[in-house]
Amino acid sequence: VKITDVKVFPMQTEWEDGHLLPPEAPGLGIEFDEEAALKHPYHPV
């Protein structure tokens, strides 16, 4: 599984000319999908 295939952060950040654009909604714009994360537990190698 590639990290880009796992959608634990449903809201993606937007970039323009190398700058991170602030979200239009209040807050930092970081959401975490705990159910998606639980489907891909960490297994040390």
The pTM score is 0.46
Q: What is the pLDDT of residue 40?
A: 82
Of residues 12, 7, 11, the one with CA closest to residue 36: 7
The Cα 45–Cα 43 span in angstroms is: 6
The Cα 1–Cα 16 span in angstroms is: 28
The Cα 4–Cα 7 span in angstroms is: 7
Asked whether the predicted pLDDT for residue 44 surpasses 90, the reply is yes
Express each pLDDT in 6-33 by its tens digit.
Answer: 677 767 778 899 998 888 878 777 788 8
Token output for 24: 């239009």
